[in-house]
Structure 1
């Protein structure tokens, strides 16, 4: 009984951790994709703006 409860708690913690980290990972992936697409252009634009 106690063992079953503990494994259930462990599964809950794992699921909670997944649901907590998934949006953060998704956000980072989105930012990385945006940087990969627009990063160099923005960098060049900033260089031109700075000059």
Structure 2
């Protein structure tokens, strides 16, 4: 039972840290362009130029 004194605050702290990280990602615009990365992988801009 004594271990709960340590584990409960650690679990709550990690949960709060995850929530803060998620809210920071929302505020900084990490989820604004979800389709851009999916379309960018199909782009063929890595074709080598002749002579290189």
Question: What TM-score, normalized to structure 2?
Answer: 0.51
Structure 1 ranges of 4+ moved more than 3 A: none
Q: How many residues align?
A: 38
Instruction: Say which structure is richer in helix.
Output: 1
Is residue 49 of structure 2 the alignment partner of residue 49 of structure 1?
A: no
Which has the higher relative contact order, 1 or 2, with Cα contacts under 8 A spaced 6 or more apart?
2
Could you list the runs of 5+ residues in structure 2 that have no partner in the other structure? 40-52
Shift, 1:43, TM fit: 1.7
Question: What TM-score, normalized to structure 1?
Answer: 0.52
CA RMSD after TM alignment: 2.0
